[in-house]
Amino acid sequence: MAEQFHHYNAQAGAIKIHYVREGRDGTPVILLHGWPGFWFDWHLNIGELARRFDVIAPDLRGFGYSDKPDLPPEQGYTDEAHAADVMGLIGALKLGVVDIVAYDIGAIVAQAFALKYPNALRRLVLFDPPYPGIGTRWFEFAHIPEIWYQSFHQLQLAEDLVGSSRRATELYLRHFLSHWSYDKNLFSDEEIAQYVEAFSQPGALRGGFNNYRAYRRAPTVALTPGWAIAHPTLVLWGDSDSIIPVAWSDNLKDYFKHLTFKKLERCGHFCQREAPEIVNREILAFLGT
């Protein structure tokens, strides 16, 4: 499954970034994964998109098969640090101006990238994105059962428990891949095995958890109110996402000046996996214009 793609490594500043690249024609399109994820989040999208674009799917620092620097989270795992890595990858591969497709943590990174490196970005596609317009709804009492893991990830105990065995890692990741999907049996055992292998790499659990630690300890550019992105942006939002409900899309127009918004029916948090044909079609149409 993973072997059908071409894998590479690039030096982005001080960080070695692992990435999959397919197709060398057309506009470069960078796919940014979320948590729990890595490049494999896009395995049902890369092939179709590569028919028209130069597709690059990296593992963000701390994830999968990229470097996992031993730095304080508030220094090494902020959205700005990730955005700088993406810019470093663009420079290393001499991509010029790119399009970015992203969700979850990747969507936060994409927004930070758009704000920090506006001239390097052409268009943006986001799925169910965390953004400032959500406001305090993250922490409303009724939503607390959905975000318990974000507090759990602050603890060293989280790494010790989840990483105590491959079975423990599998159970933890399987919970989120199932719970956040509309179809609770969506991910196959073979797919889940890919996630377990990636998060069993040395430092991968800590690297993923460090993103949540960074957001708690340091200012987050992409989640701080007061900005607006001018790039044409397509937002696709699953109507059954329990962690980032579609009702929270109500303030998108305040933050994206040129917004196209579409709701995906019977789709949860993992739009690119849950509705790959629709997502691929929407990306091709939006980025191809």
The helix or strand, by DSSP H or E, that contains position 103, with its residue range, turns out to be: strand 98-103
Look up 212 and say whether it is catalytic.
yes
Q: Find the catalytic residue in 18, 33, 43, 269.
A: 269
C-alpha 264/C-alpha 236 separation (Å) is 7
Question: Is 104 part of the annotated catalytic residue set?
Answer: yes
d(CA 191, CA 188): 5
Q: With H, G, I as helix, E, B as strand and everything else as coil, classify residue 142.
A: helix
Cβ neighbours, 10 Å, residue 7? 12
Q: Please, which residues bridge with residue 17 across strands?
A: 10
The Cα–Cα gap between 210 and 105 comes to 12
79 classed as catalytic: no
- Name the active-site residue from 67, 79, 104, 241: 104
| Cα gap 112→58, rounded to integer Å | 17
Helices 105-116 and 79-92 cross at an angle (nearest 10°) of: 70
| Residue 170 exposure: Cα atoms within 13 Å on the Cβ side | 12
Catalytic residue, from 19, 212, 215, 255: name it: 212
| Residue 103 main-chain phi, psi, to 5 deg | -150, 165
Active site residues: 104, 212, 269
